[in-house]
Structure formats: C-alpha cells, structure tokens
C-alpha cells in the first residue's frame, strides 16, 4: 500500500497550475510523498453538473474573478503567469502522453505542460508543442506518441477518469490522503499535506 498523498490534476484547470508547480517543494517540507494522477475533468463536469464547458466560461462573472484571483496567486508564489488565449485548452493529448511516459518523468513532464499552457500561452493540444516538451526527457517522441495513441493508454486514461469519479472527485486540483480524507483545490494543498504527514507515524 502506498503512503503517498494522491494529487489529481487536469491540464486545462487553472488552479491545477500553481498546485502542480508548488506541490513538490511543499511536500518536502512535510516529508510526504506525492502520487501524480492525471485525469480528465470534462467527463466529470458533464456527468455531475451537466456542464459542457468550464464553469468559468459558463458563469462569466465567476470567470472574471478567477482570472484575477489566479494572477494574485501566481504573484504571491513568484510563478510566471500569462492568461491563455484559449481556455480551456483540450488536455486529451497531453494527458495520454503523460500516461505513456515512464512514471519517473510524470511530475516533470506535467509541470512542463502546465508551464506551456499557463506561463507561455502555448497550445498543449498541438502535437508539435508536446513533441517539443518531450525533448527535455530521454525518450523517443515518436515511440511515446505511438504508445499514447494506443488502446492501452486510451483505456488507462478512461479508467483513471472513472476512478476519479468513483473516489468522489468533482474538480481539480484534488488531494486524497491514504486514509481517504479529501481536499479540493489549490487552497487546500497545505491542509492536505499536513493531514497526510500526521498519518505517517
């Protein structure tokens, strides 16, 4: 049984960006291991809330607030920030590539995707952009793309997203401690780490 805190993220999710960029540094302070879990939020929004778009687009007054809030959060953490010209960007390709990669690359690849989307305004649904990001890793991009489009990875991502729904996840980022305690949002990252730290006796 793993003793890691589960960190669930979606590449299109604005608040997943600061969480992904900061979770490792914060987790070291708590001596807590992190299990990175990519999933697709779209199917959950559709099934749970009958939403076919981000709630931040569906409710413009909430969206306007969110962009300003994100800017403040990134300022406070010295994180680079550029509002994406397309929102939300389709995360399917980047998510499949994440699952096709050897697990030791998950965290760094995920951070590079988040930075591309939210700090550099690059199109993470574009295979060329993803190829470019893969250059930082000792992998053959063609092999990774082939595996990412294969039925094994496609099913694995679908299963991962179904597991998220079964666990009671409804947004991103989301943290689940080894005792099942759940924490939603970048605002709860600290509480989630502190909770998990207390479980490691």
Task: Please give the residue ranges that form the binding site for a copy of itself (CB under 8 A).
Answer: 48-49, 58-59, 61-62, 64-65, 68-69, 72, 168, 170-171, 182, 184, 187-188, 191
Parallel, antiparallel, or unpaired: how do β-strands 34-38 and 5-9 relate?
parallel
User: Which is nearer to a copy of itself, 109 or 174 (by Cβ)?
Assistant: 174
User: Which is nearer to a copy of itself, 63 or 141 (by Cβ)?
Assistant: 63
User: Which is nearer to a copy of itself, 64 or 158 (by Cβ)?
Assistant: 64
Quote the CA–CA distance of 136 and 93 in Å, as a whole number: 18
Within the chain, how many helices (H) and strands (E) appear? 10, 4
Please report how close the Cβ of residue 57 comes to a copy of itself at its closest, in angstroms: 12
Q: 5 forms bridges with which residues in the sheet?
A: 34
Please report how close the Cβ of residue 170 comes to a copy of itself at its closest, in angstroms: 5
Among 84, 42, 81, residue whose Cα is nearest residue 169 = 42
Please report how close the Cβ of residue 179 comes to a copy of itself at its closest, in angstroms: 13
- Which runs of consecutive H residues, i.e. helices, occur in 119-188? 127-134, 141-148, 151-167
Quote the CA–CA distance of 115 and 98 in Å, as a whole number: 15
User: Which is nearer to a copy of itself, 59 or 156 (by Cβ)?
Assistant: 59
Please report how close the Cβ of residue 183 comes to a copy of itself at its closest, in angstroms: 8
């Amino acid at each position: 049984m793993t003793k890691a805190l589960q960190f669930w993220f979606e590449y299109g999710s604005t608040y997943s960006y600061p969480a992904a960029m900061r979770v490792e540094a914060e987790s070291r302070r708590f001596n807590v291991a992190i299990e990175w879990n990519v999933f697709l939020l779209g199917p959950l929004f559709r099934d749970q809330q009958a939403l076919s778009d981000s709630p931040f687009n569906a409710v413009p007054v909430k969206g306007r607030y969110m962009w300003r809030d994100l800017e403040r959060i990134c300022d406070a953490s010295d994180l680079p920030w550029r509002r994406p010209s397309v929102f939300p960007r389709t995360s399917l390709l980047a998510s499949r590539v994440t699952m096709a990669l050897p697990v030791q690359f998950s965290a760094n690849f995920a951070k590079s995707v988040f930075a591309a989307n939210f700090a550099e305004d690059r199109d993470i649904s574009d295979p060329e952009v993803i190829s470019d990001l893969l250059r930082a890793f000792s992998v053959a991009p063609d092999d990774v793309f082939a595996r990412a489009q294969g039925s094994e990875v496609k099913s694995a991502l679908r299963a991962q997203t179904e597991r998220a729904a079964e666990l009671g996840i409804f947004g991103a980022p989301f943290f689940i401690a080894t005792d099942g305690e759940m924490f939603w949002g970048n605002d709860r990252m600290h509480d989630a780490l502190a909770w998990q730290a207390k479980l490691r006796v």
